[in-house]
Amino acid sequence: MEATAAPFSSIVSSRQNFSSSSSSIRASSPASLFLSRNNNGNVNRKFKSPRSLSVRASSTSDSVVTLLDYGAGNVRSIRNALRHLGFSIKDVQTPGDILNADRLIFPGVGAFAPAMDVLNRTGMAEALCTYIENDRPFLGICLGLQLLFESSEENGPVKGLGVIPGIVGRFDSSAGIRVPHIGWNALQVRKDSEILDDVGNRHVYFVHSYRAIPSDENKDWISSTCNYGESFISSIRRGNVHAVQFHPEKSGEVGLSVLRRFLHPKLPATQKPMEGKASKLAKRVIACLDVRTNDNGDLVVTKGDQYDVREQSNENEVRNLGKPVDLAGQYYKDGADEISFLNITGFRDFPLGDLPMIQVLRHTSKNVFVPLTVGGGIRDFTDASGRYYSSLEVAAEYFRSGADKISIGSDAVYAAEEFIKSGVKTGKSSLEQISRVYGNQAVVVSIDPRRVYVNHPDDVPYKVIRVTNPGPNGEEYAWYQCTVSGGREGRPIGAFELAKAVEELGAGEILLNCIDCDGQGKGFDIDLVKLISDSVGIPVIASSGAGTPRHFSEVFEKTNASAALAAGIFHRKEVPIQSVKEHLQEERIEVRI
C-alpha cells in the first residue's frame, strides 16, 4: 500500500506560521532564477533551464502517479479518486521525485503565500518549473493552477512560479456575486484540451475566492473559461501540461473522467468537446444525514420532527432510517450535489472519542466524489484525563478523514455573541482559527433558529420581520432566535445578527435550518431564507421543511439561496433526488444533471 502521510507536514505544521500581510512582492522564488522577462516585464515562455536540475527518464510503473502534497490541507479526496481509478500513489519527498515522475499531480490546497513558501524552501519550485519546461505530464488542481501564474493578490502580492503570464486576483463581490465561488458551473471549452473531452456541457465543482483572468498574454494557454460574474480561466493546457481551477476529484463521474484522461492520454474521445453555453452557477441539491448513536450503540441516520428524533412509541427509541455510509453512497449515485453529515449529539459527545463518525467519513470518501461536509461537536475540549484538544485538532481530524468542509453550530453562536458584545475579533474562536488555517470556503456555520412571534418590530432588540403567515395570536412580526445544543437552549441572538457576525468572523457558507419547519414537509421558511440570503455575501443553504420538488423551486425563485438541503423526503424515499433536479430544470433553474 502506498504511503498516505503528507511528506511535508513536518515542514508545514500549520499554515498559521505563514500568514503575511506584506504589500510588496514577497521573497523571490527560485523559479525567477530561470524565468526570463521581456521589456514589458512579461514572462517569456522559453525558460532558461537551471543546470543543476535535469529530468531523466523514469522506469516507474504505468499505474503509479506521483503526488505533490505539501501538507497544507485535505488531499484525501484526490488520493481516493486516484485509487478508485486503479492507480497507486507515490508521494514526492524530494525535488528529485518531481523530476523523475512519469506523471505528476499537484492538488494545491490552502492559500497562495504559504504554498509558495514551502515550494521555495524545499526546492520544489525550481523542480516544478523544470518538469513543466520539459513538457512532462502535469496536472495542477485549484491552487495548483494558480501557482503557475506570475503572482497572486492573496495576502500579497505574492510571487508565483511565473510559468503563465497573469496575476491571480480575488473575485469582485461588488459585482453582486457571492464569494467564495462554491458550486457547480459548466465550462466554455475553447480548444481541444483532451482531458475535458467528456465534459461537454456538464457541470464541474469549484470552490475558490481567487481566479486568473484571460488576457492576450496568456490566451495560448487557455483551454476553457467559466462565467462567474466575469469570465475566468477554468483550465489551461499546453502540450502535456494541464491545470484546472475546478476539482475533478469532487465533480462526480465527469470529474473522474477528467482524471482518467490525464492518466490515460491515449483514450479515444467518446464525445467531441462541445462549446459550453454561458452558464450560471447551478443551484445545489444537498442530502443531509443526521447521525447519532442509538440506544443499542449503533451509529444510525436519524431524522427528527422539529429536532425530536425519538419515535412516539412506548419504547421511545431513536428513529433509525439507515446506515450512514450506505445512504451517502446511494445519494451520490442518485445525483446529490453534496452530502452533509451532522453528528447531532456532538455537542455532548466529543467527536474524537466518537470514532465511528470518523470511520463513516473515511469509508464514504472512498466512493463518493462530491463534496462532503461534517458537523457536530467542533469546539475546544478537555477530556476526563485532562488532555486538551483544540477545535482545530477536531477539524483537522475531520479533514484528514475525508471532509471537504466542516460545519460549526453551537460554538459559532457563542463566538458571534462575544464578537457582537466586544466588537473585537479575538482570532481565538473555532470559526476564526479553522477558517484562517483551512480557508473560509472550508467552514460552514449551521444555524438552528426558532421563530418567535411578536406584535411589534420594537418588541425585541433583534432583527424583526413582517411574516407572510401571522402567528397563532395574529402576530404579524417575528424574529428568529438562535439555539445551541441541538435546539435545546435558546440564546440572546437572532439568526440575522448571527449570520452577519459569522460572515465577519470567517464563515464561508451558512447552513440555515429552521426548527419550526424541520421534518414538517410543508416547505422551507421562505421569510427566513430571504432575510438571511439577502443580508450576507456568502452562500446560504436553505434547510428544513422540504416535502415536494415544488418546495425547491419555490425557495430558489423567491430567495437568494445558493443551495437547498433536505433529509426526511430522501431517507423515506418519498422523493428521489433526480425528480427534484428534473423539476428544477423544467422550471428553468440551472442544476447539475
Q: How many CB atoms lie within 10 A of CB 285?
A: 26
Shortest Cβ distance from residue 440 to ligand 1PR (Å)?
A: 17
Residue 333 φ/ψ region, left for φ over 0, alpha for ψ in the -120 to 50 degree band, beta for the rest = alpha
* Side-chain half-sphere exposure of 93, counting CA atoms within 13 A: 5
Shortest Cβ distance from residue 431 to ligand 1PR (Å)?
A: 10
Do residues 286 and 541 touch, judged by C-beta distance below 8 A? Answer: yes
Shortest Cβ distance from residue 511 to ligand 1PR (Å)?
A: 7
C-alpha angle with apex 437: 78 to 131, nearest 5 degrees? Answer: 45
**Nearer CB in complex with ligand 1PR: 127/287:** 287
**Nearer CB in complex with ligand 1PR: 256/512:** 512
Rounded to whole angstroms, what are the CA distances from 353 to 358, 382, 384, 419, 430?
10, 11, 11, 30, 18
Q: Residues with Cβ < 8 Å from 533, sequence gap 6 or more?
A: 512, 540, 542, 559, 560, 561, 562
Shortest Cβ distance from residue 542 to ligand 1PR (Å)?
A: 10
**Nearer CB in complex with ligand 1PR: 104/555:** 555
Exactly one of 448, 516, 525, 554 is catalytic; name it. Answer: 448
Exactly one of 129, 142, 482, 514 is catalytic; name it. Answer: 142
Specify the DSSP element, H or E, that contains 105.
Answer: strand 104-108
Task: Answer yes or no: 142 catalytic.
Answer: yes
Shortest Cβ distance from residue 432 to ligand 1PR (Å)?
A: 15
Shortest Cβ distance from residue 521 to ligand 1PR (Å)?
A: 7
Exactly one of 208, 242, 247, 571 is catalytic; name it. Answer: 247
Q: How far apart are CA 296 and CA 298, in angstroms?
A: 6
Exactly one of 97, 198, 290, 411 is catalytic; name it. Answer: 290
Q: Which residues bind ligand 1PR (CB under 6 A)?
A: 288, 290, 303-304, 307, 309, 342, 344, 346-347, 375-378, 407-411, 446, 448, 486-487, 513, 518-519, 543-546, 566-568
**Nearer CB in complex with ligand 1PR: 487/508:** 487
Classify 18 as helix, strand or coil: helix
Cα 399 → chain centroid? 11
Shortest Cβ distance from residue 303 to ligand 1PR (Å)?
A: 6
Rounded to whole angstroms, what are the CA distances from 315 to 295, 310, 354?
10, 9, 25
**Nearer CB in complex with ligand 1PR: 105/566:** 566
Q: How far apart are CA 139 and CA 136, in angstroms?
A: 10
Shortest Cβ distance from residue 478 to ligand 1PR (Å)?
A: 18
The secondary structure of 242-273, three-state, reads EEECCCHHHCHHHHHHHHHHHHCCCCCCCCCC
Q: How many CB atoms lie within 10 A of CB 462?
A: 18
Classify 343 as helix, strand or coil: strand
Q: Which amino acid is at 128?
A: L
Q: Residues with Cβ < 8 Å from 126, sequence gap 6 or more?
A: 30, 31, 33, 34, 50, 53, 95
Do residues 270 and 197 touch, judged by C-beta distance below 8 A? Answer: yes
Task: Answer yes or no: 249 catalytic.
Answer: yes
Shortest Cβ distance from residue 451 to ligand 1PR (Å)?
A: 14
**Nearer CB in complex with ligand 1PR: 155/548:** 548
C-alpha angle with apex 268: 265 to 274, nearest 5 degrees? Answer: 95
Q: Which amino acid is at 395?
A: A
**Nearer CB in complex with ligand 1PR: 503/518:** 518
Task: Answer yes or no: 220 catalytic.
Answer: no
Q: How many CB atoms lie within 10 A of CB 397?
A: 18
Angle, helices 355-367 vs 76-84, to 10°: value is 50
Q: Which amino acid is at 292?
A: R
**Nearer CB in complex with ligand 1PR: 98/546:** 546
Task: Answer yes or no: 194 catalytic.
Answer: no
**Nearer CB in complex with ligand 1PR: 91/290:** 290
Q: Which residues are catalytic?
A: 142, 247, 249, 290, 448
